[in-house]
Amino acid sequence: MKGKPTSFDIAYQAGVSQSTVSRALRGSPLVSAETRKRIQAIAKQLNYKVDKNASNLRRQHSVTLALLLFEDATSDAALVNPFFLSMLGSITRACAREGYDLLISFQQLSDDWHADFQDSHKADGLILLGYGDFEVARHKLEKLVEQGTQFVYWGAVEPGQPGISVGCDNVQGGRAVTEHLLSLGRRRIAFVGDASPHCPEFFDRYRGHCEALRAAGVPVVPALQVEAMDSSEKLGHAAVRMLQERGQKFDAVFAASDLLAIGAMRALEESGLRVPEDVAVVGFDDIPVAAFASPPLTTVQQDTRAAGEVLVQRLLQLIRGEPSESTMLPARVIVRRSCGQPGDTDATRMAQLRRAS
Amino acid sequence: MKGKPTSFDIAYQAGVSQSTVSRALRGSPLVSAETRKRIQAIAKQLNYKVDKNASNLRRQHSVTLALLLFEDATSDAALVNPFFLSMLGSITRACAREGYDLLISFQQLSDDWHADFQDSHKADGLILLGYGDFEVARHKLEKLVEQGTQFVYWGAVEPGQPGISVGCDNVQGGRAVTEHLLSLGRRRIAFVGDASPHCPEFFDRYRGHCEALRAAGVPVVPALQVEAMDSSEKLGHAAVRMLQERGQKFDAVFAASDLLAIGAMRALEESGLRVPEDVAVVGFDDIPVAAFASPPLTTVQQDTRAAGEVLVQRLLQLIRGEPSESTMLPARVIVRRSCGQPGDTDATRMAQLRRAS
DNA sequence: CTGAAAGCGCTTACAG
DNA sequence: CTGAAAGCGCTTACAG
């Protein structure tokens, strides 16, 4: 046998036409069971695999999805957002289950958003993770819609957004974790995270936060909110310093992400403040290290497993021309020690590790 | 414009033949600069992208690599080994730089090892991460070699192994971290991890460990070695219990992976033993949570960034028919508090976080 | 149920 | 430097 066998080789051995081989292997009902069986046996024996490129070319689709992870050009080249990473598993598996292959690519925020993948027929649709400044991203997303690109993205879920998005219920998450802080007696809660349309997810978390405060009759103090557009330990650290420079007193910090929260805790520690005794700290995301922070971080868990599933489902609906819609997933407060209430540390830590590994 | 433009559309607009369009866009020197320029401009204006499937079919290769992550069938479906995950970034980037696309797929250890990707022309070569029991994997790897599959894998680097592997210098890493423990006065060091050809990487770490002991004139006590074939917190926990049941005294634990080490620390804690005062603990891998463990875990860092680069380079050499060879990367001890020597916690923690995010 | 034939959109010898 | 033509390996109307 020279080179890879083709459907003609199978046909020859089976004594049928190449068309019949193709039909049999694609599961067409137009082939008799007996013929199909014979063909399959020979294909298996010859280790024949349908040539994807030929099949794709002919059928005009690739049965492949592309996962585009956007990252800041300024950040170190080896970084991958741990939150997105945790979605990777479920996305991959959902694709596999649906018979789709998954291309993965890291993109610079500044680049053209590669409709390239679809234009070149490398992928039938795109999953976008991480868009940076949403006001900038919005235009790019709108262009994608215009071009007829099939895509879904993880982010805020709000009316008027371009395309289909999947995200967690940030308002509810922000509300729930703030209520928890309030129930522990905290009243001056700082919020670390941008509260503007540039960061709709952080903004929604802030909205939920404010809702909870108002419902409890606690005043919303603008000076207790500090901008942080990105999610990093450094920005969280800087935010606490900023609050202190403002001379604001606070007994809790709600950081819009775990990375911000961890940086905030470090800054507090350095100022001689104890977490949670002096200042309670909560984050958002429940990234793997959250359970290992000192103290272990109370946070809001987004269901990354469901997230991956839903992203793939929505994208496939788009590709198949079925009705599809943006979807919000529930958020869940995970209580650990950083908020001042001894949580079930051991159990959550085990669960975390399991998710991490 | 109906549907995606083809090279014929470009040719028509440029007033040249389709062949010339193809040549111009592929950068053939057979096209005049002026013609090329005109064609490129029109292609750009029409948002033309070469159809990958057609191009691949014609050229008989896919300019795509497949990353296969193997996992235990028994483990929860959402798990991804954090160590492999940390390699993903550099693999992706190395592929992008070389102009290759990257398919990613999770495979069950028990499945056929999908030469499928290559047979179907989905990918030109494979990168395998995680093989489980190497004695079992060896046969599969040998079969891949027989079939002429182009692949590289992460693992031990030893003579007589099938195919091309890339791994860290486990012997050196095991030696170095043991020397460190010895330098801190520890003498009865337990080793948690399988020391057999089933786990060549763990075995090499054990070898390095024994070398260091012998060089220091410290006896190697077989009863201080506990099997753990896999890397999980649970097995690390069980290993410490086993040591205690054996009635062995030990003042340090060298776990063959961070996950094992973290489980071991928890078991020690539960027995009322203090880490590092009573028992020093060190791990291997330097996964993101290692810096956040309590106490922060001393471990051996594998250079995941270089790992990804080298894996891709070696695979491309194979694909291009160039000489290639298995490669060993250096390992580096990261000192944190779990070994009893106050490490530069803050600096390493920051570095860790940066790698984690 | 099966076969002959067209065609998916390129790339690349071949001829000029 | 350019064009006409073959062909990569399939899938799928079309005809039987």
Mind spelling out the 3-state secondary structure of chain B? Answer: CCCCCCHHHHHHHHCCCHHHHHHHHHCCCCCCHHHHHHHHHHHHHCCCCCCHHHHHHHHCCCCEEEEEEEECCCCCCCCCCHHHHHHHHHHHHHHHHCCCEEEEEEEECCCCCCCHHHHCCCCCEEEEECCCCHHHHHHHHHHHHHCCCCEEEECCCCCCCCCEEEEECHHHHHHHHHHHHHHCCCCCEEEECCCCCCCHHHHHHHHHHHHHHHHCCCCCCHHHEECCCCCCHHHHHHHHHHHHHCCCCCCEEEECCHHHHHHHHHHHHHCCCCCCCCCEEECCECCHHHHHCCCCCEEEEECHHHHHHHHHHHHHHHHHCCCCCCEEECEEEECCHHHCCCCCHHHHHHHHHHHHC
Contact A81 B116 (CB under 8 A): no
Q: Which of A81-85, A123-127, A234-238 has the lowest mean pLDDT?
A: A81-85
Q: What is the pLDDT of residue B146?
A: 86
Q: Which residues of A touch B78 (CB under 8 A)?
A: 89-90, 93, 304-305, 355
Q: Encoding tokens for residue A251?
A: 């007994």
In chain B, where the domains are located: 7-50, 64-166+304-326, 170-303+333-356
A1 pLDDT more than 80? no
The integer distance in angstroms from the CA atom of B39 to the C1' atom of C16 is: 23
Three-class secondary structure of residue A246 per DSSP: coil
Q: Encoding tokens for residue A312?
A: 């793939």
Tell me which of 3.30.70.2740, 1.10.238.10, 3.40.50.2300, 1.20.810.10 is the CATH number of domain A64-167+304-326.
3.40.50.2300
Residue type, B88: L
Tell me the shortest Cα–Cα distance from B225 to chain A, in angstroms.
24
Q: What is the pLDDT of residue A357?
A: 40
Q: Which residues of B touch A105 (CB under 8 A)?
A: 92, 96, 101-102
Closest by Cβ to B101, choosing from A77, A122, A355: A122
Q: Which nucleotides of D are covered by protein (CB under 7 A)?
A: 1-5, 7-13
The integer distance in angstroms from the CA atom of A58 to the C1' atom of C7 is: 8
Does nucleic acid strand D have an atom less than 7 angstroms from the CB of B37? no
Q: What is the pLDDT of residue B1?
A: 42
Q: Which of A291, A276, A228, A269 is nearest to B356 (CA)?
A: A291
Q: What is the pLDDT of residue A112?
A: 67
Note whether B103 and B117 are within 8 A (CB): yes
Q: What is the pLDDT of residue B78?
A: 46
Q: What is the pLDDT of residue B176?
A: 95
CA B5 – CA B288 distance, rounded (Å): 47
Closest by Cβ to A78, choosing from B89, B120, B288: B89
What percent of chain A is predicted at pLDDT more than 70?
90
Q: What is the pLDDT of residue B186?
A: 93
The average confidence (pLDDT) of chain A is 87
Which helix (H) or strand (E) segment holds residue A108: the answer is strand A101-108
pLDDT tens string A294-353? 888 999 999 888 999 999 999 999 999 899 999 999 999 999 999 876 544 444 444 444
- CB under 8 Å to A353, separation ≥6 — which residues? A288, A291, B233, B259, B262, B289
A264 pLDDT more than 90? yes
Q: What is the pLDDT of residue B346?
A: 41
Note whether B255 and B264 are within 8 A (CB): yes
CA B299 – CA B283 distance, rounded (Å): 4
Tell me the shortest Cα–Cα distance from B113 to chain A, in angstroms.
13
Same CATH topology for B64-166+304-326 and B170-303+333-356: the answer is yes
Tell me the shortest Cα–Cα distance from B63 to chain A, in angstroms.
11
Going by CATH, does the domain composed of B170-303+333-356 fall within 3.40.50.10190? no
pLDDT tens string A199-231? 999 999 999 999 999 999 999 999 999 998 888
Q: What is the pLDDT of residue A346?
A: 42
**Higher local confidence (pLDDT), A63 or B110:** A63
Contact A103 B102 (CB under 8 A): yes
Q: What is the pLDDT of residue A77?
A: 41
Tens digits of pLDDT across chain B (357 residues) = 457 888 888 888 888 889 898 898 888 888 888 888 888 888 888 888 899 999 999 998 889 999 998 876 554 444 567 788 888 888 998 998 898 999 998 877 666 666 678 888 899 999 999 888 899 889 889 988 888 889 999 999 999 899 999 999 999 999 999 999 999 999 999 999 999 999 999 999 999 999 999 999 999 999 999 998 888 888 999 999 999 999 989 999 999 999 999 999 999 989 999 988 999 999 999 988 888 888 889 999 998 889 999 999 999 999 998 999 999 999 999 999 998 865 444 444 444 444 444
Q: Which of A107, A180, A178 is nearest to A144 (CA)?
A: A107
- CB under 8 Å to A136, separation ≥6 — which residues? A109
For the ranges A2-11, A33-42, A120-129, the one whose mean pLDDT is highest? A120-129
Q: What's the fold here for domain B64-166+304-326?
A: Rossmann fold (3.40.50)
Residues in chain A: 357
Interface test with A, best of B53, B103, B350 (most A CBs within 10 A): B53
Q: For nucleic chain C, give residues with Cβ below 7 angstroms from it.
A: A 15-20, 23, 29-33, 35, 54, 57-58, 60; B 3-4, 6-8, 18-19, 22-23, 25-26, 48, 50-51, 54-55, 57-59
Q: Which residues of B touch A122 (CB under 8 A)?
A: 52, 101
Q: What is the pLDDT of residue B105?
A: 87
Closest by Cβ to A101, choosing from B103, B262, B354: B103
Three-class secondary structure of residue A299 per DSSP: strand
CA B176 – CA A252 distance, rounded (Å): 44
Which helix (H) or strand (E) segment holds residue A263: the answer is helix A258-270
Note whether B86 and B168 are within 8 A (CB): no
Domain spanning A7-50 has what CATH number?
Answer: 1.10.260.40
